[in-house]
Structure 1
Amino acid sequence: MQVSKRAQRIEPFYVMEVAKAAQALAREVAGTNEPMIFLNIGEPDFTAPPLVQQAAAQAVAQGNTQYTPALGLDALRERISQWYAQRFGVDVPARRIVVTAGASAALQLACLALIDSGDEILMPDPSYPCNRHFVSAADGKAVLIPTTAAERFQLSADKVAQAWGEKTRGVLLASPSNPTGTSIAPDELRRIHDVVRARGGLTIIDEIYLGLSYDPAYSQTALALGEDLVSINSFSKYFNMTGWRLG
């Protein structure tokens, strides 16, 4: 069967191949005094808290397994809104929140909804490989801008302004970043968004590791900057729910 040209442009996600090889090695040393320690993918080695497990079992037992509203359960969206208010002190009304089948699905849906064919999206290099593939899947083009350790391997407002061209649609950021682990300073993020906003562009930011940022200077959500940006978050990292696919 011939696959589409779009699919052929997508490079393999090599980290998953590394993960499979690591699992094979782990089986060889299982039960020994030298077990495998996994540092390859963002996944805890423990599962969701007991209350979450109990609630899931109760939902299954009570038959609460039908289709949900397209935007997610209203009660869940309201609780997410409350969580943002309690943790970050920001007002994110439930009407702005969409629950998806994982953060990857959220990123892909956002790209499909906001990027037209030929649009260019500015991204730092290095950055998470899948993010540029989401842009490509929407027939856009990821423009990778080299970054340095002095820049925390993140884009700056100056670099965004310099790289902006006729086909530029916006930026796709990640803070904290995978694979570098660095965050964008709040003041710099504001300047970046100001540059994008002034050009009528789009700011998408991957914040799935935000709950694991322990420096108060950086553990702030971009949603504090206003309603004209898209933030992607996830249950998988902070709430130890990787296989639950909630974004």
Structure 2
Amino acid sequence: MSRPHGYARYRLDGCRCYTCGWARSRYEENRTKALIAGTWEPWVDAEPVRVHVRYLQSCEMGLRAIAARAGVDRKRLQAVLNGRPERGTPPQKTMRPDTAAAVLAVEPTLENLAPNTPISPLGTRRRARALVAVGWPQQHLAVHLGMDPGNFGTMLNREHVLARRALAVRAMYDALWRADPADHGASLGGIARARAYAADRGWAPPGAWDDDALDNPEAHPDWTGQCGTVQGFWAHRYITAPACPPCRDAFNADGRKRSAQGPGKAG
């Protein structure tokens, strides 16, 4: 595949079209200005890029996907990581600043992962369960995703979920969390059964989750607005919901503190 028209094609392929000539003149103009200002930096250390690429790979991003997202040639990344074994050259020590910046800007988001990449099911599980908690029958959610209803529950219990499925569930959650299931064909009985099913299992509704907490393994749902405190424990009693782990921990810790203080010393 030929290079796009620009400075690289002017230098490497000898193209002298208007676009390539203009790119070359802009490059020379910017280079001259930078030399005068003392800011000319044609090369930067490749080590930060090497570390970042390896981090992205540890997040299940393939080198081809990383290169595509950064808009660079995959062979350039291979040279940074491993050098050119066929030529006997070691890993590249320096690289162009714009290439380095493009690679460092790539993040391992769901959108950047290959569709069939297996990832943690945590965020997918929390979103689906939250929808059930507000009355969405699981068979309705399965139909929304184009899945067989029997496979929906299986998906929520797997150790991994595919990136494309996680994206689909995230889009479904964004579309349905404020919608009334009854407006989408769910019966009143089905809604009641879904809510009861979720309540029996302690599944948190959307209102208990901040958007940035849904995918965070360290986060817990905040059912009461005070979860993680003794007040939160009693708030659970008030709304007749089982105390969440942070509230139980806070309540038990307070009880141990009071016991250690002895009678009449609690303040």
TM-score bracket, normalised by the shorter chain, equals under 0.3
Structure with larger Rg:
2
More strand by share: 1
More helix by share: 2
TM-score by length of 1: 0.24
